[in-house]
Chains A and B, each alone.
Chain A
């Protein structure tokens, strides 16, 4: 049972890991994208639309195309969201919080509208779309996982997107610490005026970080539909994972490598109520609060320790305009 719990916790955690890694990259540029929930939703529905069109246009699905088409669709959808955000906040200098919240509303609305439309097209009794053929291709894992017993179950039983999530988090961590471009990105988020005076193109970094961050977050939505939900899209099924991803950013103190462990922990906390026997319905709801409570505790601990490295990027949430006086 413990093995099953760990497995489910990791599967639960992967969408959060995508979301938080994306959001960390965005926030490191000083852009507080509260639209992550909308971006992830968008990534999910875009993938669903791509898969739906492909599955319904061919007799037998080609596994490579079945993965590539939804992936590409998802990337287009979520990068579009990132582009809107960057355009509004960087070029037009709109308020970041308002823009982010608007994107959440927009992303969820967009997803529910097209999700609903596709369901109508199918004309089925259940209010959902099942893309089992595509999902099968996404879920293909290591063939040798079964032979390795517990080790295989815990470490090798996941689909390729899960490993990509971890790889992206590690690469991002390396990027921040060890590359010049990462140093520049952090400088932009900490003090854009300094970065600007040092000859760094602030706007380019902000655009780049926001769009790449959105694409990564969008993959979380895709993973959720294609792997976690077995290719079944139902409106609002995604829940509040987008907000959990933002909470995870704080939990991980803006470090993608901490985010990996954090996401598994959050995933575990999300489902722990299923593994504790004899819980009443209301007690279950209390347990679902756990990830948020943990985030609050982390915030309290961080502010008590007051270590400068653990604070959010100094200019997070502020727009930058060079000639402002």
Chain B
């Protein structure tokens, strides 16, 4: 069966200033086919897709659509060529309803008529099996609903080529399955679908073909049926790396941290943590899973003394003194002096962990500035530590005195984790420590956490990739809407179990 090319890219090059984001990229997508674009962070996947959808304009190269050369200078041009992109960060207006968002930018002849348009939208929903309340405002929606709106938006415009930028990053396994079912239905409908991702298992499950980019360059396209995860990783990274996390049995675990019935109500009066109790032992990695915004952040912050609690207590069993102390009424400094370390990586990693405009040495000093008796700062030690972190963790930086802001996300992350580990903690809390990191750096961080575990540190790991949670952790606690919905043994649990527990109390995103 000869297939027709829906879109063909030839020698596309784009650079931002001195940084070359895409170099001589060639890509072909056929109708009725799902193509995965795979690549590490900063390999230029999103840039490439932005050029197809008219956000950026290529410096050189050609784009052919249905065999004819196309010039896409703006998103409007892209629509005219029936290209629709679903961005990673949703492009939706929060205070508008679903229908209003779908209608934005349409310039068809019929007058502004919400009722008639709603009917049309409903038909699309039925055709592909979406469930959506059309008059709901975006800010009241869950992430998955927002994504549905985005997809309907491009379908409503009659898109034949759909581009999805990391669509599953924010979804639970069940939602992901639903999305994949919809995408398969669209493929069978003759649409060309491009999906950007860095989750290998999804690539294998969904796509017909895989195109791999590495550092802005096009490596090649392979049929999914003729490849496997290891081969793809090799193409992506350019070298063989092992994707195994070695999990050891916890060595003489003793109770280190005991959380008893803590509850927390935030400033808006919403209960973010409800009667949470668990204990973490030394020498284990305790995983916490849940949809983003289910209370993970508040939980870790309350252990670190940054969040006021309404009830409950946090008991810490100090291994040095063998005393039990209540952390609840202590300040962050007191808690830190006890050896409890929080390496917290919120969505904005420069927000809470590091200061963007300061260099690596100064950022390391944020932890040690109180040391020493003189009024002047002691710079020698932090500088040595900075150089050690740069060397040990392979931080790519011009030097220890480069402002953190200029480093890439992965390198910033390494500095942050390196600093926290260097202070030899007894409890290490890491929230999303690999968010935005490529495979190589991710595994480096996993190994670091494992090292800490073997040293007898109690590690709390909040993660989003369920496969990793299952491979890395010893036990996994699942929270949903601020409540514990289950604690599982990571050695026997399955992804589906966790996924179900994640939505037990009615989903995240309040």
Q: Which residues of A contact B75 (CB under 8 A)?
A: 196-199
- Closest beta carbon of chain B to A204's beta carbon, Å: 12
Q: Which residues of B contact A308 (CB under 8 A)?
A: 94-95, 137, 139
Given contacts A183-B100, A199-B79, A325-B16, contact A309 B105 (CB under 8 A): no
- Are A190 and B79 neighbours in the complex by a CB distance under 8 Å? no
Number of residues in A with C-beta < 8 Å to the partner? 25
Q: Which residues of B contact A194 (CB under 8 A)?
A: 91-93, 101, 104
- Closest beta carbon of chain A to B359's beta carbon, Å: 23
Neighbour of A197 across the interface among B16, B85, B96, B139, CB < 8 A: B85
Digit string of A203-232 for contact with B (CB within 8 Å is 1, else 0)? 000000000000000000000000000000
Enumerate B99-119 residues with CB–CB distance to A below 8 Å: 100-101, 103-107, 111-112
- Closest beta carbon of chain A to B109's beta carbon, Å: 11
- Are B91 and A180 neighbours in the complex by a CB distance under 8 Å? no
- Closest beta carbon of chain B to A188's beta carbon, Å: 10
Enumerate B138-159 residues with CB–CB distance to A below 8 Å: 139, 153
B56 located at the interface, meaning its Cβ lies under 8 Å from any Cβ of chain A in the complex: yes
Q: Which residues of B contact A322 (CB under 8 A)?
A: 55
- Are A180 and B106 neighbours in the complex by a CB distance under 8 Å? yes
**Chain B contacts to A: CB under 8 angstroms:** 16, 53, 55-56, 74-76, 78-79, 85, 87, 91-96, 100-101, 103-107, 111-112, 137, 139, 153, 268
A298 located at the interface, meaning its Cβ lies under 8 Å from any Cβ of chain B in the complex: no
A197 to B157, CA, bound (A): 13
Digit string of A24-51 for contact with B (CB within 8 Å is 1, else 0)? 0000000000000000000000000000
**Chain A contacts to B: CB under 8 angstroms:** 178-180, 183-184, 186-187, 190-191, 193-200, 306, 308-309, 311, 314, 322-323, 325
- Are A191 and B93 neighbours in the complex by a CB distance under 8 Å? yes
Task: Kindly list 9 other residue pairs between chains A and B, CB separation below 8 angstroms, not including A196-B74, A197-B85, A199-B79.
Answer: A179-B112, A180-B111, A190-B94, A191-B92, A194-B101, A196-B75, A308-B139, A323-B55, A323-B56
- Are A306 and B95 neighbours in the complex by a CB distance under 8 Å? no
A325 to B74, CA, bound (A): 17
- Are A197 and B95 neighbours in the complex by a CB distance under 8 Å? no
Which secondary structure dominates chain A's binding surface? helix
- Are B74 and A183 neighbours in the complex by a CB distance under 8 Å? no
- Are A190 and B112 neighbours in the complex by a CB distance under 8 Å? no
- Closest beta carbon of chain B to A186's beta carbon, Å: 7
Please give me the 7 A-B residue pairs with the lowest Cβ-Cβ distance, nearest first: A198-B105, A199-B76, A194-B91, A180-B112, A199-B105, A190-B93, A198-B104
Q: Which residue of B lies closest to A193 (CB)?
A: B91
Among B74, B78, B105, B111, which residue has the most Cβ atoms of chain A within 10 A?
B105
- Are A187 and B96 neighbours in the complex by a CB distance under 8 Å? yes
Given contacts A308-B137, A322-B55, contact A197 B91 (CB under 8 A): yes
**A-B contact list, 24 entries, CB within 8 Å:** A180-B103, A180-B106, A183-B103, A183-B104, A183-B112, A184-B104, A187-B93, A190-B93, A190-B95, A193-B91, A194-B92, A195-B93, A196-B75, A197-B85, A197-B87, A199-B74, A199-B75, A308-B137, A309-B95, A314-B94, A314-B95, A323-B16, A323-B55, A325-B16
Q: Which residue of B lies closest to A182 (CB)?
A: B112
- Are B105 and A184 neighbours in the complex by a CB distance under 8 Å? yes
- Closest beta carbon of chain A to B46's beta carbon, Å: 10
Given contacts A198-B105, A199-B105, A323-B56, contact A186 B93 (CB under 8 A): yes
A180 to B85, CA, bound (A): 22
Q: Which residues of A contact B79 (CB under 8 A)?
A: 199
A308 to B93, CA, bound (A): 11
- Are A197 and B93 neighbours in the complex by a CB distance under 8 Å? no
Q: Which residues of B contact A190 (CB under 8 A)?
A: 93-96
- Closest beta carbon of chain B to A314's beta carbon, Å: 7
- Closest beta carbon of chain A to B265's beta carbon, Å: 16
A198 to B77, CA, bound (A): 10
- Closest beta carbon of chain B to A202's beta carbon, Å: 10
Q: Which residues of A contact B16 (CB under 8 A)?
A: 323, 325
Q: Which residue of B lies closest to A314 (CB)?
A: B94
Q: Which residues of A contact B112 (CB under 8 A)?
A: 178-180, 183
